[in-house]
Amino acid sequence: DSGVTQTPKHLITATGQRVTLRCSPRSGDLSVYWYQQSLDQGLQFLIQYYNGEERAKGNILERFSAQQFPDLHSELNLSSLELGDSALYFCASSVDIAGGSTYEQYFGPGTRLTVT
Amino acid sequence: DQQVKQNSPSLSVQEGRISILNCDYTNSMFDYFLWYKKYPAEGPTFLISISSIKDKNEDGRFTVFLNKSAKHLSLHIVPSQPGDSAVYFCAASYQGAQKLVFGQGTRLTINP
């Protein structure tokens, strides 16, 4: 158990809909990262938040957004869903000093999103 | 642009023998490398890492080797055990990168 929790575990929804994925980082971790894994591919970095502020963006679509709340949990919002958005979405957390580098990240169990 | 590549999608090894998983990278800025292990229906689990100032790091049955000139790293598992059967991801990062760049994974199967 990494200490990172994600809900829900599975989500099935229809095209055009909007969903919210939730992540709680390990106790003490200030950084939260979101990754997408499609069809046995590698993990693709989406976005990072550090202590409530967006720090880095990867290949995140404009239809997707995220935020980190004062209690450090994070939500990833996916809207106008398309079939191709079906994937595993992982959240990870790490201990970063302000302005520090990203090294070991600890991953949650993921949310499997199926868009029909 | 695939900056981290794992060219072998799968690898099958007999129990007790050595498993060698390979990873190549193209970005010279990478200075930290990690291996993650992933079981089905679970998130990736951190296994071992290595900084670019080293060429080897060992932790129990797991050893990671880094060849900076060849931009290549490998993970050795000795001896291989059935519980090692999983997908292994190589990842890389650098100072200030704020993210990990992952390879596509190698599925390791340990046969009894």
Dihedrals φ, ψ of A83, to 5°? -55, -35
**Interchain CB contacts (distance < 8 Å): A and B:** 67
Q: What tokens were used for B32?
A: 């930290």
- The answer to whether the beta carbons of residues B62 and B69 sit under 8 Å apart is no
Chain centroid to CA A28: how far? Answer: 18
- pLDDT computed for residue A97 by the predictor: 58
**List of chain A residues whose C-beta atoms are within 8 Å of the C-beta of residue B42:** 109-110
- pLDDT computed for residue A41 by the predictor: 75
Distance CA A12, CA A2 (A): 25
CA distance to partner chain B, nearest, from residue A41 (Å): 5
**List of chain A residues whose C-beta atoms are within 8 Å of the C-beta of residue B96:** 99, 101
- Determine, for residues A105 and B100 on separate chains, whether the beta-carbon distance falls below 8 Å: yes
Chain centroid to CA A108: how far? Answer: 9
pLDDT tens column, A76-115: 999 999 999 999 999 999 887 555 555 788 999 999 999 9
The answer on pLDDT for B27 being more than 80 is yes
**List of chain B residues whose C-beta atoms are within 8 Å of the C-beta of residue A109:** 41-43
Of residues A33, A41, A110, nearest to B104 (C-beta): A41
Which of B4, B99, B101 is the mutation pick for testing A, counting most A CBs within 10 A?
Answer: B99
- pLDDT computed for residue B76 by the predictor: 98
pLDDT tens column, A23-51: 999 998 999 999 999 876 789 999 999 99
SS3 A4: coil
Of residues B95, B98, B102, nearest to A55 (C-beta): B98
Long-range pairs, B40-47, Cβ under 8 A, ≥24: B41/A109, B42/A109, B42/A110, B43/A2, B43/A4, B43/A6, B43/A90, B43/A92, B43/A107, B43/A108, B43/A109, B43/A110, B44/A43, B44/A90, B44/A107, B44/B89, B45/A2, B45/A107, B46/A104, B46/A105, B46/A106, B47/B75, B47/B88
CA distance to partner chain A, nearest, from residue B70 (Å): 22
pLDDT tens column, B42-91: 899 999 999 999 999 999 999 999 999 999 999 999 999 999 999 999 99
- The answer to whether the beta carbons of residues B73 and B50 sit under 8 Å apart is yes
**List of chain A residues whose C-beta atoms are within 8 Å of the C-beta of residue B36:** 107
- Determine, for residues A41 and B46 on separate chains, whether the beta-carbon distance falls below 8 Å: no
SS3 A12: strand
